[in-house]
Amino acid sequence: MLSNKIKLYKVETYVAVILFIVFLFYFIPASNHNIRQHDEFDGNFTSRYLIVNSGAFFETNPGTIIYGTMNGLPRANFVRFTEPVALLMYLFGSLPGYAIAFIIMRLVAFLGIYVLGRDFLKFDNEKKGILILISVCFACLPYNTSYFLSIAGIPIAFWAFLNIKNKQRLRISFITLVLFAVSSNFVLVGFHLCFVFGLIALFYSIKHKKIYWLLFAAIAATGITYILTEYMMFYMHLFNHSYHSSREGFEKLLSLNLKGVLGISFTNIFLGEYNATNYFGYLFMPFMTYYVFIIIKDNHDPVNRLAVLFIVVTIMCALLTTVFDWNKMGFFYETFSFAKIFNLKRFISILPGLFFIILMFTLMSINTKKNKVLHVVTLLTLYLFFILIWRGNISRNRSSFNCTGLTINGDRPNTFNQFFNENMYKQIKKDIGKDSVNNVISFGLLPAPCKYVGLNVLDDYQGDYPLEYKQQFRKVIAREIDKSLQLKELFDGWGSKCYLYSANEIANTLQTKNGFEYEPNLEIDTEQLKKMNCKYILSSILIGNSKDLNLEFQKVYVSALNKQSIILYKLI
Protein backbone atom coordinates (compact mmCIF):
# COMPACT_ATOMS: atom_id res chain seq x y z
CA MET A 1 0.00 0.00 0.00
CA LEU A 2 2.82 2.39 0.92
CA SER A 3 4.65 1.69 -2.33
CA ASN A 4 1.47 2.51 -4.30
CA LYS A 5 1.20 5.88 -2.52
CA ILE A 6 4.83 6.66 -3.24
CA LYS A 7 4.35 5.65 -6.87
CA LEU A 8 1.33 7.97 -7.14
CA TYR A 9 3.35 10.84 -5.64
CA LYS A 10 6.13 10.17 -8.15
CA VAL A 11 3.69 10.14 -11.08
CA GLU A 12 2.19 13.45 -9.93
CA THR A 13 5.67 14.93 -9.62
CA TYR A 14 6.76 13.73 -13.06
CA VAL A 15 3.59 15.15 -14.66
CA ALA A 16 4.10 18.51 -12.91
CA VAL A 17 7.75 18.75 -14.00
CA ILE A 18 6.90 17.81 -17.60
CA LEU A 19 4.17 20.48 -17.68
CA PHE A 20 6.67 23.04 -16.40
CA ILE A 21 9.35 22.14 -18.96
CA VAL A 22 6.87 22.20 -21.86
CA PHE A 23 5.59 25.58 -20.65
CA LEU A 24 9.10 27.04 -20.62
CA PHE A 25 9.82 25.88 -24.16
CA TYR A 26 6.49 27.11 -25.50
CA PHE A 27 6.46 30.59 -23.92
CA ILE A 28 10.15 31.50 -23.60
CA PRO A 29 10.92 34.81 -25.40
CA ALA A 30 12.38 33.85 -28.79
CA SER A 31 12.56 35.40 -32.23
CA ASN A 32 9.70 33.27 -33.61
CA HIS A 33 7.57 33.13 -30.47
CA ASN A 34 4.55 35.34 -29.81
CA ILE A 35 5.31 38.22 -27.45
CA ARG A 36 3.32 40.68 -25.37
CA GLN A 37 3.72 44.20 -26.71
CA HIS A 38 1.89 46.25 -24.08
CA ASP A 39 3.99 47.06 -21.00
CA GLU A 40 6.76 44.67 -21.98
CA PHE A 41 8.22 44.84 -25.49
CA ASP A 42 6.84 48.29 -26.41
CA GLY A 43 8.61 49.88 -23.46
CA ASN A 44 10.43 47.88 -20.80
CA PHE A 45 12.46 45.71 -23.17
CA THR A 46 13.57 48.51 -25.51
CA SER A 47 14.42 50.86 -22.63
CA ARG A 48 16.79 48.22 -21.32
CA TYR A 49 18.07 47.57 -24.83
CA LEU A 50 18.83 51.28 -25.29
CA ILE A 51 20.74 51.73 -22.02
CA VAL A 52 22.59 48.40 -22.36
CA ASN A 53 23.82 49.38 -25.84
CA SER A 54 24.42 53.06 -25.07
CA GLY A 55 27.94 52.58 -23.70
CA ALA A 56 26.77 54.22 -20.47
CA PHE A 57 25.15 51.24 -18.77
CA PHE A 58 27.56 51.42 -15.82
CA GLU A 59 27.39 55.23 -15.61
CA THR A 60 27.10 56.21 -11.94
CA ASN A 61 26.08 59.85 -12.37
CA PRO A 62 22.24 60.02 -12.22
CA GLY A 63 22.16 63.20 -14.31
CA THR A 64 24.24 62.00 -17.27
CA ILE A 65 22.13 62.40 -20.42
CA ILE A 66 21.51 59.25 -22.48
CA TYR A 67 20.53 59.95 -26.08
CA GLY A 68 18.32 57.90 -28.36
CA THR A 69 14.92 58.84 -26.97
CA MET A 70 13.00 62.01 -26.02
CA ASN A 71 15.92 64.31 -26.90
CA GLY A 72 17.99 62.61 -24.21
CA LEU A 73 17.00 61.41 -20.73
CA PRO A 74 18.94 61.42 -17.44
CA ARG A 75 20.64 58.11 -16.60
CA ALA A 76 18.35 57.88 -13.55
CA ASN A 77 15.30 57.46 -15.82
CA PHE A 78 16.63 54.08 -16.96
CA VAL A 79 17.00 50.86 -14.99
CA ARG A 80 19.93 50.64 -12.58
CA PHE A 81 23.11 48.83 -13.61
CA THR A 82 22.54 46.27 -10.83
CA GLU A 83 19.17 45.25 -12.28
CA PRO A 84 19.44 41.50 -13.10
CA VAL A 85 17.40 41.53 -16.34
CA ALA A 86 19.46 44.36 -17.82
CA LEU A 87 22.69 42.71 -16.61
CA LEU A 88 21.71 39.45 -18.31
CA MET A 89 20.93 41.37 -21.52
CA TYR A 90 24.32 43.08 -21.25
CA LEU A 91 26.18 39.79 -20.72
CA PHE A 92 24.37 37.48 -23.14
CA GLY A 93 22.74 39.76 -25.70
CA SER A 94 19.32 41.35 -25.52
CA LEU A 95 16.93 38.55 -26.46
CA PRO A 96 19.03 35.64 -25.04
CA GLY A 97 19.53 37.56 -21.80
CA TYR A 98 15.81 38.27 -21.58
CA ALA A 99 15.08 34.58 -22.14
CA ILE A 100 17.50 33.57 -19.37
CA ALA A 101 15.75 36.04 -17.02
CA PHE A 102 12.42 34.44 -18.01
CA ILE A 103 13.66 31.00 -16.91
CA ILE A 104 15.36 32.15 -13.68
CA MET A 105 12.28 34.12 -12.62
CA ARG A 106 10.04 31.07 -12.97
CA LEU A 107 12.46 28.73 -11.24
CA VAL A 108 12.54 31.10 -8.24
CA ALA A 109 8.72 31.31 -8.30
CA PHE A 110 8.54 27.51 -8.19
CA LEU A 111 11.13 27.31 -5.42
CA GLY A 112 9.35 29.93 -3.29
CA ILE A 113 6.05 28.04 -3.02
CA TYR A 114 7.82 24.71 -2.64
CA VAL A 115 10.14 25.66 0.25
CA LEU A 116 7.36 27.55 2.00
CA GLY A 117 5.18 24.43 1.94
CA ARG A 118 8.04 22.12 2.78
CA ASP A 119 9.22 24.08 5.82
CA PHE A 120 5.97 25.42 7.29
CA LEU A 121 3.44 22.67 6.59
CA LYS A 122 3.30 19.16 7.97
CA PHE A 123 2.59 16.61 5.25
CA ASP A 124 3.38 13.09 4.16
CA ASN A 125 5.15 12.09 0.97
CA GLU A 126 1.91 11.40 -0.88
CA LYS A 127 1.04 15.12 -0.69
CA LYS A 128 4.32 16.23 -2.22
CA GLY A 129 2.90 15.85 -5.73
CA ILE A 130 0.16 18.38 -4.92
CA LEU A 131 2.71 20.85 -3.53
CA ILE A 132 4.90 20.53 -6.63
CA LEU A 133 1.89 21.03 -8.91
CA ILE A 134 0.82 24.18 -7.01
CA SER A 135 4.42 25.42 -7.32
CA VAL A 136 4.37 24.78 -11.07
CA CYS A 137 1.07 26.66 -11.45
CA PHE A 138 2.49 29.69 -9.65
CA ALA A 139 5.70 29.55 -11.69
CA CYS A 140 3.69 29.57 -14.94
CA LEU A 141 1.58 32.67 -14.25
CA PRO A 142 1.87 35.31 -17.01
CA TYR A 143 4.56 37.45 -15.42
CA ASN A 144 6.19 40.42 -17.08
CA THR A 145 9.83 39.29 -17.39
CA SER A 146 11.13 42.84 -16.96
CA TYR A 147 9.66 42.87 -13.42
CA PHE A 148 11.83 39.81 -12.65
CA LEU A 149 11.25 38.76 -9.00
CA SER A 150 8.96 41.67 -8.09
CA ILE A 151 5.88 39.42 -8.28
CA ALA A 152 7.37 35.96 -8.80
CA GLY A 153 9.62 36.27 -5.73
CA ILE A 154 6.92 37.13 -3.15
CA PRO A 155 6.61 33.57 -1.70
CA ILE A 156 10.35 33.13 -1.22
CA ALA A 157 10.50 36.56 0.46
CA PHE A 158 7.78 35.45 2.91
CA TRP A 159 9.64 32.17 3.43
CA ALA A 160 12.76 34.11 4.47
CA PHE A 161 10.76 36.48 6.69
CA LEU A 162 9.03 33.62 8.53
CA ASN A 163 12.36 31.86 9.01
CA ILE A 164 13.73 34.99 10.68
CA LYS A 165 10.64 35.23 12.87
CA ASN A 166 11.25 31.64 14.04
CA LYS A 167 15.04 32.22 14.33
CA GLN A 168 15.71 29.49 11.76
CA ARG A 169 18.03 29.50 8.73
CA LEU A 170 18.99 33.08 9.61
CA ARG A 171 21.97 33.50 7.29
CA ILE A 172 20.29 32.18 4.14
CA SER A 173 17.08 34.08 4.99
CA PHE A 174 18.81 37.47 5.33
CA ILE A 175 20.73 36.78 2.11
CA THR A 176 17.44 35.86 0.39
CA LEU A 177 15.78 39.14 1.39
CA VAL A 178 18.79 41.15 0.21
CA LEU A 179 18.83 39.31 -3.12
CA PHE A 180 15.08 39.81 -3.43
CA ALA A 181 15.58 43.56 -3.00
CA VAL A 182 18.31 43.53 -5.67
CA SER A 183 16.08 41.53 -8.02
CA SER A 184 12.79 43.40 -7.59
CA ASN A 185 11.45 46.86 -8.19
CA PHE A 186 11.07 49.22 -5.22
CA VAL A 187 8.26 51.25 -6.80
CA LEU A 188 6.36 48.21 -8.01
CA VAL A 189 6.56 46.08 -4.88
CA GLY A 190 9.48 46.95 -2.56
CA PHE A 191 7.84 49.71 -0.51
CA HIS A 192 4.58 47.78 -0.27
CA LEU A 193 6.18 44.53 0.86
CA CYS A 194 8.31 46.31 3.49
CA PHE A 195 5.11 47.96 4.74
CA VAL A 196 3.38 44.57 5.04
CA PHE A 197 6.41 43.05 6.75
CA GLY A 198 6.40 45.97 9.18
CA LEU A 199 2.77 45.35 10.13
CA ILE A 200 3.46 41.64 10.66
CA ALA A 201 6.48 42.41 12.85
CA LEU A 202 4.39 44.90 14.82
CA PHE A 203 1.59 42.33 15.23
CA TYR A 204 3.92 39.67 16.61
CA SER A 205 5.61 42.19 18.90
CA ILE A 206 2.27 43.29 20.39
CA LYS A 207 0.89 39.76 20.58
CA HIS A 208 3.89 38.31 22.42
CA LYS A 209 4.71 41.52 24.32
CA LYS A 210 8.29 41.63 23.12
CA ILE A 211 9.99 43.39 20.25
CA TYR A 212 10.97 41.09 17.39
CA TRP A 213 14.27 42.84 16.72
CA LEU A 214 15.33 40.33 14.07
CA LEU A 215 12.20 41.02 12.01
CA PHE A 216 12.77 44.76 12.13
CA ALA A 217 16.44 44.15 11.25
CA ALA A 218 15.32 42.11 8.23
CA ILE A 219 13.06 44.96 7.09
CA ALA A 220 15.91 47.44 7.58
CA ALA A 221 18.31 45.25 5.57
CA THR A 222 15.76 44.98 2.76
CA GLY A 223 15.08 48.73 2.76
CA ILE A 224 18.77 49.68 2.85
CA THR A 225 19.43 47.36 -0.09
CA TYR A 226 16.71 49.11 -2.08
CA ILE A 227 18.18 52.52 -1.22
CA LEU A 228 21.69 51.49 -2.24
CA THR A 229 20.66 49.85 -5.52
CA GLU A 230 18.08 52.52 -6.43
CA TYR A 231 20.20 55.48 -5.33
CA MET A 232 19.81 57.23 -8.70
CA MET A 233 16.02 57.22 -8.44
CA PHE A 234 16.06 58.38 -4.81
CA TYR A 235 18.54 61.13 -5.64
CA MET A 236 16.56 62.47 -8.61
CA HIS A 237 13.21 62.47 -6.81
CA LEU A 238 14.25 63.50 -3.30
CA PHE A 239 17.42 65.56 -3.55
CA ASN A 240 17.68 66.96 -7.07
CA HIS A 241 15.28 69.87 -6.77
CA SER A 242 15.85 70.92 -10.37
CA TYR A 243 14.31 67.66 -11.62
CA HIS A 244 10.53 67.44 -11.92
CA SER A 245 9.04 64.12 -12.97
CA SER A 246 6.34 63.70 -15.58
CA ARG A 247 4.43 61.88 -12.85
CA GLU A 248 3.94 65.20 -11.06
CA GLY A 249 1.47 66.04 -13.80
CA PHE A 250 -0.80 63.09 -12.99
CA GLU A 251 -4.39 64.12 -12.43
CA LYS A 252 -5.76 61.61 -9.89
CA LEU A 253 -9.26 60.28 -10.70
CA LEU A 254 -11.12 59.14 -7.59
CA SER A 255 -13.91 57.14 -9.19
CA LEU A 256 -14.93 54.47 -6.67
CA ASN A 257 -17.63 54.61 -4.02
CA LEU A 258 -17.44 52.32 -0.96
CA LYS A 259 -19.35 49.54 -2.72
CA GLY A 260 -16.90 49.69 -5.62
CA VAL A 261 -13.91 49.56 -3.25
CA LEU A 262 -15.23 46.43 -1.53
CA GLY A 263 -16.34 44.73 -4.76
CA ILE A 264 -13.07 45.28 -6.64
CA SER A 265 -11.06 44.29 -3.57
CA PHE A 266 -12.87 40.95 -3.43
CA THR A 267 -12.41 40.41 -7.17
CA ASN A 268 -8.71 41.24 -6.99
CA ILE A 269 -8.11 38.53 -4.38
CA PHE A 270 -9.36 35.83 -6.75
CA LEU A 271 -8.38 37.26 -10.14
CA GLY A 272 -5.73 39.92 -9.69
CA GLU A 273 -5.22 42.36 -12.55
CA TYR A 274 -3.43 42.19 -15.88
CA ASN A 275 0.06 42.89 -14.48
CA ALA A 276 -0.37 40.60 -11.47
CA THR A 277 -2.88 37.94 -12.41
CA ASN A 278 -3.91 35.05 -10.16
CA TYR A 279 -6.03 33.37 -12.86
CA PHE A 280 -9.45 32.14 -11.90
CA GLY A 281 -9.22 31.79 -8.15
CA TYR A 282 -12.99 31.30 -8.03
CA LEU A 283 -12.25 27.74 -9.12
CA PHE A 284 -11.00 27.06 -5.59
CA MET A 285 -13.85 28.69 -3.65
CA PRO A 286 -15.34 25.33 -2.48
CA PHE A 287 -11.92 24.16 -1.27
CA MET A 288 -11.24 27.42 0.57
CA THR A 289 -14.70 27.50 2.14
CA TYR A 290 -14.16 23.94 3.41
CA TYR A 291 -10.77 24.97 4.82
CA VAL A 292 -12.31 27.91 6.70
CA PHE A 293 -14.51 25.41 8.57
CA ILE A 294 -11.42 23.33 9.39
CA ILE A 295 -9.68 26.44 10.78
CA ILE A 296 -12.73 27.31 12.92
CA LYS A 297 -12.84 23.76 14.23
CA ASP A 298 -9.12 23.61 15.05
CA ASN A 299 -7.86 27.16 15.53
CA HIS A 300 -5.03 26.07 17.84
CA ASP A 301 -3.11 24.27 15.10
CA PRO A 302 0.02 26.39 14.33
CA VAL A 303 -0.43 25.71 10.59
CA ASN A 304 -4.00 26.98 10.68
CA ARG A 305 -2.99 30.06 12.67
CA LEU A 306 -0.32 30.86 10.09
CA ALA A 307 -2.91 30.42 7.33
CA VAL A 308 -5.18 32.93 9.11
CA LEU A 309 -2.32 35.44 9.16
CA PHE A 310 -1.91 35.12 5.37
CA ILE A 311 -5.67 35.41 4.83
CA VAL A 312 -5.80 38.64 6.88
CA VAL A 313 -2.75 40.06 5.07
CA THR A 314 -4.33 39.19 1.69
CA ILE A 315 -7.60 40.95 2.55
CA MET A 316 -5.64 43.98 3.81
CA CYS A 317 -3.55 44.20 0.60
CA ALA A 318 -6.68 43.85 -1.56
CA LEU A 319 -8.33 46.73 0.29
CA LEU A 320 -5.21 48.90 0.08
CA THR A 321 -5.13 48.25 -3.66
CA THR A 322 -8.51 49.89 -4.21
CA VAL A 323 -9.00 52.28 -1.29
CA PHE A 324 -6.64 54.82 -2.91
CA ASP A 325 -9.24 55.22 -5.69
CA TRP A 326 -12.07 55.84 -3.20
CA ASN A 327 -13.86 59.13 -3.83
CA LYS A 328 -13.41 60.05 -0.15
CA MET A 329 -9.60 60.07 -0.45
CA GLY A 330 -9.23 63.54 -1.93
CA PHE A 331 -7.94 64.93 1.38
CA PHE A 332 -5.17 62.33 1.39
CA TYR A 333 -3.75 63.44 -1.97
CA GLU A 334 -4.06 67.10 -0.98
CA THR A 335 -2.12 66.42 2.22
CA PHE A 336 0.50 64.10 0.71
CA SER A 337 1.40 65.30 -2.77
CA PHE A 338 3.96 62.49 -3.21
CA ALA A 339 1.04 60.02 -3.41
CA LYS A 340 0.23 61.34 -6.89
CA ILE A 341 3.73 60.40 -8.04
CA PHE A 342 4.17 57.18 -6.11
CA ASN A 343 1.55 54.55 -7.01
CA LEU A 344 0.33 53.28 -3.65
CA LYS A 345 -2.09 50.90 -5.38
CA ARG A 346 0.78 48.51 -6.13
CA PHE A 347 -0.23 46.31 -3.19
CA ILE A 348 -1.91 44.32 -5.93
CA SER A 349 1.54 43.09 -7.00
CA ILE A 350 1.75 41.11 -3.75
CA LEU A 351 -1.63 39.42 -4.22
CA PRO A 352 -0.67 36.55 -6.61
CA GLY A 353 1.99 35.31 -4.20
CA LEU A 354 -0.39 35.61 -1.23
CA PHE A 355 -3.21 33.88 -3.10
CA PHE A 356 -1.02 30.91 -3.97
CA ILE A 357 0.31 30.70 -0.41
CA ILE A 358 -3.28 30.47 0.84
CA LEU A 359 -4.07 27.96 -1.91
CA MET A 360 -1.10 25.87 -0.77
CA PHE A 361 -2.29 25.90 2.85
CA THR A 362 -5.82 25.02 1.72
CA LEU A 363 -5.09 22.09 -0.57
CA MET A 364 -2.32 20.62 1.59
CA SER A 365 -4.46 20.82 4.76
CA ILE A 366 -7.76 19.42 3.45
CA ASN A 367 -6.18 16.43 1.69
CA THR A 368 -6.08 13.73 4.32
CA LYS A 369 -5.23 10.05 4.12
CA LYS A 370 -8.88 9.16 4.66
CA ASN A 371 -10.30 11.02 1.68
CA LYS A 372 -8.91 9.64 -1.58
CA VAL A 373 -11.78 11.15 -3.59
CA LEU A 374 -10.84 14.67 -2.45
CA HIS A 375 -7.22 13.98 -3.39
CA VAL A 376 -8.25 13.04 -6.95
CA VAL A 377 -10.62 16.03 -7.22
CA THR A 378 -7.79 18.33 -6.05
CA LEU A 379 -5.42 16.98 -8.70
CA LEU A 380 -7.99 17.29 -11.49
CA THR A 381 -8.79 20.87 -10.40
CA LEU A 382 -5.10 21.80 -10.44
CA TYR A 383 -4.67 20.29 -13.92
CA LEU A 384 -7.67 22.34 -15.09
CA PHE A 385 -6.12 25.37 -13.39
CA PHE A 386 -2.90 24.83 -15.33
CA ILE A 387 -4.89 24.73 -18.60
CA LEU A 388 -6.50 28.08 -17.70
CA ILE A 389 -3.07 29.53 -16.87
CA TRP A 390 -1.74 28.26 -20.22
CA ARG A 391 -4.63 29.89 -22.08
CA GLY A 392 -4.15 33.04 -20.00
CA ASN A 393 -0.53 33.25 -21.17
CA ILE A 394 -1.63 32.92 -24.80
CA SER A 395 -4.21 35.67 -24.26
CA ARG A 396 -1.63 37.86 -22.52
CA ASN A 397 0.75 37.53 -25.45
CA ARG A 398 -2.00 39.06 -27.56
CA SER A 399 -1.97 42.04 -25.16
CA SER A 400 -5.42 41.19 -23.77
CA PHE A 401 -6.43 41.72 -20.14
CA ASN A 402 -8.33 38.44 -19.76
CA CYS A 403 -7.85 37.33 -16.15
CA THR A 404 -9.68 33.98 -16.26
CA GLY A 405 -8.13 31.92 -19.03
CA LEU A 406 -11.62 30.88 -20.14
CA THR A 407 -11.22 32.62 -23.48
CA ILE A 408 -8.29 33.70 -25.62
CA ASN A 409 -8.82 37.37 -26.39
CA GLY A 410 -6.78 40.15 -27.90
CA ASP A 411 -5.38 41.24 -31.22
CA ARG A 412 -3.67 39.11 -33.83
CA PRO A 413 -0.50 37.75 -32.21
CA ASN A 414 2.90 39.09 -33.20
CA THR A 415 6.19 37.26 -32.95
CA PHE A 416 9.33 39.07 -31.84
CA ASN A 417 10.58 39.19 -35.45
CA GLN A 418 7.26 40.47 -36.76
CA PHE A 419 6.96 43.20 -34.14
CA PHE A 420 10.49 44.56 -34.45
CA ASN A 421 10.67 43.91 -38.22
CA GLU A 422 14.39 44.67 -38.30
CA ASN A 423 14.95 44.49 -42.06
CA MET A 424 12.27 47.06 -42.85
CA TYR A 425 13.28 49.48 -40.07
CA LYS A 426 16.94 49.16 -40.98
CA GLN A 427 16.02 50.07 -44.56
CA ILE A 428 14.14 53.13 -43.28
CA LYS A 429 17.17 54.11 -41.21
CA LYS A 430 19.41 53.68 -44.28
CA ASP A 431 17.12 55.82 -46.47
CA ILE A 432 16.99 58.58 -43.89
CA GLY A 433 20.77 58.47 -43.82
CA LYS A 434 22.51 61.31 -42.00
CA ASP A 435 19.15 62.70 -41.00
CA SER A 436 18.79 59.74 -38.62
CA VAL A 437 20.82 61.70 -36.06
CA ASN A 438 17.64 63.76 -35.75
CA ASN A 439 14.41 62.53 -34.23
CA VAL A 440 11.67 60.52 -35.87
CA ILE A 441 8.18 60.16 -34.48
CA SER A 442 5.55 57.49 -35.15
CA PHE A 443 1.83 57.84 -35.82
CA GLY A 444 -0.34 54.74 -35.52
CA LEU A 445 2.82 52.78 -34.76
CA LEU A 446 4.75 51.97 -31.61
CA PRO A 447 8.20 53.64 -31.40
CA ALA A 448 9.90 50.49 -29.99
CA PRO A 449 11.05 49.08 -33.39
CA CYS A 450 12.69 52.42 -34.23
CA LYS A 451 14.62 52.36 -30.95
CA TYR A 452 15.63 48.77 -31.60
CA VAL A 453 17.42 49.62 -34.86
CA GLY A 454 19.04 52.76 -33.44
CA LEU A 455 16.75 55.50 -34.73
CA ASN A 456 16.39 58.43 -32.33
CA VAL A 457 12.76 58.67 -31.27
CA LEU A 458 10.82 61.66 -30.03
CA ASP A 459 8.02 59.49 -28.63
CA ASP A 460 8.38 56.69 -26.10
CA TYR A 461 6.79 54.62 -23.36
CA GLN A 462 8.52 55.84 -20.19
CA GLY A 463 7.22 55.58 -16.64
CA ASP A 464 9.36 58.52 -15.56
CA TYR A 465 10.77 61.37 -17.64
CA PRO A 466 11.13 65.15 -17.19
CA LEU A 467 7.87 67.07 -16.72
CA GLU A 468 9.24 69.82 -18.97
CA TYR A 469 9.40 67.36 -21.86
CA LYS A 470 5.81 66.28 -21.27
CA GLN A 471 4.72 69.91 -21.41
CA GLN A 472 6.64 70.48 -24.66
CA PHE A 473 5.20 67.34 -26.22
CA ARG A 474 1.67 68.28 -25.19
CA LYS A 475 1.87 71.35 -27.42
CA VAL A 476 2.24 69.02 -30.41
CA ILE A 477 -1.07 67.22 -29.76
CA ALA A 478 -2.94 69.93 -27.81
CA ARG A 479 -5.68 70.42 -30.43
CA GLU A 480 -6.27 66.67 -30.66
CA ILE A 481 -6.46 66.48 -26.85
CA ASP A 482 -9.15 69.19 -26.90
CA LYS A 483 -11.29 66.93 -29.10
CA SER A 484 -11.25 63.91 -26.79
CA LEU A 485 -11.84 63.50 -23.05
CA GLN A 486 -10.42 59.98 -23.36
CA LEU A 487 -7.20 61.32 -24.87
CA LYS A 488 -7.01 64.06 -22.23
CA GLU A 489 -7.27 61.46 -19.45
CA LEU A 490 -4.70 59.27 -21.20
CA PHE A 491 -2.09 61.99 -21.62
CA ASP A 492 -2.79 64.52 -18.85
CA GLY A 493 -3.90 61.95 -16.29
CA TRP A 494 -1.07 59.54 -17.11
CA GLY A 495 1.25 60.38 -20.00
CA SER A 496 3.71 57.49 -19.67
CA LYS A 497 2.87 56.71 -23.28
CA CYS A 498 4.18 59.91 -24.81
CA TYR A 499 2.84 59.19 -28.32
CA LEU A 500 1.60 61.14 -31.33
CA TYR A 501 -2.15 60.59 -30.95
CA SER A 502 -5.26 61.69 -32.78
CA ALA A 503 -8.74 61.80 -31.27
CA ASN A 504 -10.11 59.59 -34.07
CA GLU A 505 -7.39 57.01 -33.51
CA ILE A 506 -8.15 56.83 -29.77
CA ALA A 507 -11.89 56.57 -30.46
CA ASN A 508 -11.23 53.94 -33.15
CA THR A 509 -13.22 55.95 -35.72
CA LEU A 510 -10.61 56.23 -38.46
CA GLN A 511 -11.78 55.87 -42.05
CA THR A 512 -10.15 53.64 -44.69
CA LYS A 513 -8.60 54.84 -47.94
CA ASN A 514 -6.26 53.16 -50.46
CA GLY A 515 -5.76 50.20 -48.13
CA PHE A 516 -4.68 52.42 -45.21
CA GLU A 517 -6.46 53.74 -42.18
CA TYR A 518 -7.17 57.38 -43.05
CA GLU A 519 -7.03 60.47 -40.84
CA PRO A 520 -8.54 63.31 -42.91
CA ASN A 521 -7.67 66.14 -40.53
CA LEU A 522 -4.79 65.55 -38.14
CA GLU A 523 -4.45 68.69 -36.01
CA ILE A 524 -0.90 68.63 -34.70
CA ASP A 525 1.64 71.42 -34.32
CA THR A 526 4.42 70.53 -36.76
CA GLU A 527 6.25 73.76 -35.95
CA GLN A 528 6.56 72.53 -32.35
CA LEU A 529 7.84 69.19 -33.72
CA LYS A 530 10.55 71.06 -35.61
CA LYS A 531 11.52 72.93 -32.44
CA MET A 532 11.94 69.53 -30.82
CA ASN A 533 14.32 68.56 -33.64
CA CYS A 534 11.93 66.23 -35.48
CA LYS A 535 12.43 65.62 -39.20
CA TYR A 536 10.36 62.55 -40.06
CA ILE A 537 7.03 60.93 -39.25
CA LEU A 538 6.61 57.19 -39.70
CA SER A 539 2.93 56.42 -40.08
CA SER A 540 0.66 53.43 -40.61
CA ILE A 541 -2.15 55.96 -41.15
CA LEU A 542 -2.63 58.02 -44.31
CA ILE A 543 -2.69 61.70 -43.30
CA GLY A 544 -5.23 63.53 -45.47
CA ASN A 545 -4.10 67.06 -44.64
CA SER A 546 -0.37 66.33 -44.93
CA LYS A 547 0.23 69.34 -47.21
CA ASP A 548 -1.40 71.71 -44.73
CA LEU A 549 0.91 70.31 -42.08
CA ASN A 550 3.97 70.84 -44.31
CA LEU A 551 4.56 67.10 -44.54
CA GLU A 552 6.17 65.80 -47.71
CA PHE A 553 5.40 62.22 -48.74
CA GLN A 554 8.63 60.24 -49.18
CA LYS A 555 7.98 56.54 -49.57
CA VAL A 556 5.79 53.55 -48.65
CA TYR A 557 7.54 50.55 -47.10
CA VAL A 558 5.92 47.12 -47.22
CA SER A 559 7.37 44.35 -45.09
CA ALA A 560 8.02 41.01 -46.76
CA LEU A 561 7.73 39.47 -43.30
CA ASN A 562 4.14 40.35 -42.41
CA LYS A 563 2.94 42.76 -45.16
CA GLN A 564 3.01 45.68 -42.72
CA SER A 565 2.90 49.03 -44.56
CA ILE A 566 4.56 52.21 -43.30
CA ILE A 567 4.43 55.67 -44.86
CA LEU A 568 7.44 57.96 -44.46
CA TYR A 569 6.67 61.69 -44.26
CA LYS A 570 9.30 64.45 -44.04
CA LEU A 571 8.74 67.76 -42.26
CA ILE A 572 9.59 70.58 -44.65
In a domain, 65, yes or no: no
Q: Which of 379, 396, 413 is the last residue of a domain?
A: 396
In a domain, 74, yes or no: no
What pLDDT was estimated at residue 1? Answer: 45
User: Which residues pair with residue 551 across a beta bridge?
Assistant: 571
What pLDDT was estimated at residue 369? Answer: 65
Three-class SS of residue 35?
coil
Same domain, 211 and 287: yes
User: Burial code of 439-460, b = ≥16 C-beta within 10 A, e = fewer?
Assistant: bbbbbbbbbbbbbbbebbbbbb
Same domain, 349 and 465: no
Which run of H or of E encompasses 516?
strand 516-519
Same domain, 459 and 320: no
Same domain, 244 and 288: yes
Same domain, 317 and 208: yes
Same domain, 127 and 228: yes
Same domain, 392 and 518: no
In a domain, 38, yes or no: no
301-306-311-314 Cα dihedral, nearest 10 degrees: 180
Same domain, 244 and 210: yes
In a domain, 426, yes or no: yes
- Contact status, residue 32 vs residue 438, Cβ threshold 8 Å: no
Q: What is the pLDDT along the chain (572 residues), one digit of tens a residue?
A: 445 545 666 888 899 999 999 999 999 999 999 999 888 998 899 999 999 999 999 999 999 999 999 999 999 999 999 999 999 999 999 999 999 999 999 999 999 999 999 999 877 777 888 999 999 999 999 999 999 999 999 999 999 999 999 999 999 999 999 999 999 999 899 999 999 999 999 999 999 999 999 999 999 999 999 999 999 999 998 888 888 888 876 666 677 888 888 988 888 888 888 778 888 888 999 999 999 999 998 878 888 999 999 999 999 999 988 888 888 877 777 777 676 667 778 899 999 999 999 999 999 988 876 778 888 899 999 999 999 999 999 999 988 887 788 888 877 788 999 999 999 999 999 988 876 567 899 999 999 999 999 999 999 999 889 999 999 999 999 999 999 888 998 898 888 899 999 999 998 888 888 888 999 999 999 999 999 999 999 999 999 999 999 999 999 999 888 888 999 999 98
Same domain, 353 and 470: no
Determine the structural domain holding residue 488 and report its residue range.
422-571
In a domain, 36, yes or no: no
* Separation between Cα atoms, residue 86 and residue 146, nearest integer Å: 9
Q: What is the pTM of this model?
A: 0.93
In a domain, 69, yes or no: no
Same domain, 363 and 443: no
What pLDDT was estimated at residue 200? Answer: 95
- How many domains, in total, are found in the chain? 2
Describe the chain by its helix, strand, coil percentages, rounded to 5.
Answer: 60, 10, 30
In a domain, 409, yes or no: no
Same domain, 363 and 502: no
What pLDDT was estimated at residue 8? Answer: 62
Three-class SS of residue 279?
coil
Same domain, 388 and 528: no
* Separation between Cα atoms, residue 461 and residue 275, nearest integer Å: 16
Listed residue (513, 514, 493, 495) closest to 504, CA to CA: 513
What pLDDT was estimated at residue 9? Answer: 67
Tell me the per-residue pLDDT of 411-447, one tens digit each, with 9 for 90 and over. Answer: 778 899 999 999 999 999 998 887 656 789 999 999 9
In a domain, 512, yes or no: yes
